Structure 1
Amino acid sequence: MKLLSTLAVAAMAASSPLLAADTKVWQTSAELGAITTSGNTVGTSVTGKIDARQDLEQWSNQYIFSAYFKEDEKTNADGERVKERSAERYLISGKGAYKLNKEHDNLFVFGSHTDDKFGAFETYTTLAVGYGTRLFDAEHQSLDVEIGPGYFRGKRANEDTESGLIARGAASYKWQLSESAAFTQTLSIEYGDDNTRTVAESAISARINNAMQMKAAFLVQNDSDVPVDKKRTDTQTSLTLVYSF
């Protein structure tokens, strides 16, 4: 918790000039998806995400909160029907990017914290700084990348705690397929001596109206070093409604 507090203070300090400035440009989206089954199989899964972006004269900032849980109803050894949670994950992240003279070039500070009750790491906190730029910019496509050093601290499912320096790289590709459809691909790699975490998401969205979209996404998270009873790769397929405001 102390490290997480430090992370939050650092992110806020990096963006303190924007807090005092005119918050004139906000782009926020909230997405929610849920599946409920009954009959022979009873269960509920819910996924949600809030993505808030702010574009000021000198700063560009992004704040993300996401959550996912899955709960099933099963029969125990005594023949009783009980509810059992099989997934519960929360992520919060923030990035403050200071714009340089060249368009799309920036210096950034990034922080994230993941709490995963059933993952290879129960908690995983990252703080990184670095440089970002746009490698490709066409009429309907763009590719943004960033790279820099950082620090991580994680608690494994077996209660072992690890921390150390990392090298973090990330990329975000956007392709506007039509006026109403878009494809996005994001990738982040955090390389360290103890563990390398790779997270990638492929998503396609279709606009229903000016504020509402339907989004289908496939998320992959891989850790290179996990306890013997855990798998290296977790995946999540989702279909959500996205409201933008």
Structure 2
Amino acid sequence: MKRIATALILMSGSSVALADGWSGDVTAGLIMTSGNSETTTSNGKLKLAYVTGPWEHSSHLSFTQARDEEETTAERYTVGYKADFSFTDTDYIYFAADWQKDLFASVRERTVETVGYGRRIFNTDAHQLDLEAGAGARQNEYAEPPDSRSDDFVGTTGLDYAWTISPTSKFTQTLLAEYGESNTYTESVSQLKLSIIGNLFAALAFTARHNSVVSEGNEKTDTETSINLSYEFGKADP
């Protein structure tokens, strides 16, 4: 964690030269324990966004890995892309593609492609709220029985909320629900960012994921709590 903090602090003291329209952030965390038990939990995330005219392109990738002694106990990867086209100040259409792989969950791999409509309910200096509804296709791969798969049509709803509490703190909340014949998947991510120096933040996040159908012996709900360092680039210093 000390090495991660040093690297991000050095980044915060330098300017990141990006072309107009580009922005993003990188988040990383590492927790290590020793003594009666030796565990290591690491996670990271990269987000990129590019805005040009009515188009906004965004992408993200993330990983989480936990090890106990010499054994990996959790391992999860996600990759996603989304394109928004705004046809009014408050309305837009979008295309999104997401891929997730979780080596220890009942649903081992999940791929979703959707199109839909979004509306910005309000957009002030302090609060922004977007609501979305869409439809598309989903492909699931399950842990049990081995190599079993399902392909189905899904309907989706989403919420994206941001609250700028002060120039140095911000709260965000996202909600996603996918409704399909084989499974209903929901995901909630709550995050609080507190400025440390420049564009370097402490990020506290809580994530909950729920599958309505799981293999025997698996929990339907997984939760994840993280405390990380986050660096924003392509944006003005707070």
Normalised to the residue count of structure 2, the TM-score between the two structures is 0.87
* 1:96-143 C-alpha deviation (Å, 9 max, x unpaired): 11121x113211100000011001111000000011111123330111
Answer yes or no: is 1:202 the counterpart of 2:190.
yes
Whether the 8 Å contact between 2:139 and 2:150 is mirrored in structure 1 is: yes
1:61 to 32, 57, 60: 57
Partner residue in 2 for 1:85: 72
Following the alignment from structure 2 to structure 1, what is the Cα–Cα distance between the partners of residues 33 and 104?
22
Answer yes or no: is 1:147 the counterpart of 2:143.
no
Partner residue in 2 for 1:15: none
Whether the 8 Å contact between 2:163 and 2:170 is mirrored in structure 1 is: yes
Following the alignment from structure 1 to structure 2, what is the Cα–Cα distance between the partners of residues 180 and 139?
14
Following the alignment from structure 2 to structure 1, what is the Cα–Cα distance between the partners of residues 199 and 168?
11
2:205 to 203, 217, 224: 217
Structure 2: gaps spanning 5 or more residues: 1-18, 234-238
Question: Could you tell me the percent identity over the aligned residues?
Answer: 30
Q: Secondary structure at the match of 2:219?
A: coil
Indicate how the Cα distance of structure 1 residues 32 and 126 shifts in structure 2: closer, same or farther if over 3 A, else same. same
Matches within 5 A, 1:60-139: 60-73=56-69, 83-100=70-87, 102-139=88-125
* 1:15-63 C-alpha deviation (Å, 9 max, x unpaired): xxxxxxxx62111100001100111110100010001111111210110
1:37 to 22, 30, 33: 33
Higher relative contact order (CA 8 A, sep 6+): 2
Following the alignment from structure 2 to structure 1, what is the Cα–Cα distance between the partners of residues 123 and 199?
26
RMSD, matched Cα? 1.2
Q: Which residue identity is paired with 1:239? A: I
1:173 to 139, 153, 161: 161
Runs of 4+ in 1 over 4 A off after TM superposition: none
Residue 209 of structure 1: how far off its partner (Å): 2.1
Normalised to the residue count of structure 1, the TM-score between the two structures is 0.85
Partner residue in 1 for 2:220: 232
Partner residue in 2 for 1:10: none
Following the alignment from structure 2 to structure 1, what is the Cα–Cα distance between the partners of residues 60 and 124?
27
Q: Which residue identity is paired with 1:28? A: G
* 1:200-232 C-alpha deviation (Å, 9 max, x unpaired): 011111011222011000000000000111110
Partner residue in 2 for 1:51: 47
Number of aligned positions between the proteins: 214
Whether the 8 Å contact between 2:90 and 2:121 is mirrored in structure 1 is: no
Residue 233 of structure 1: how far off its partner (Å): 0.4
Residue 85 of structure 1: how far off its partner (Å): 0.5
Answer yes or no: is 1:188 the counterpart of 2:184.
no
Residue 189 of structure 1: how far off its partner (Å): 0.3
Q: Which residue identity is paired with 2:218? A: K
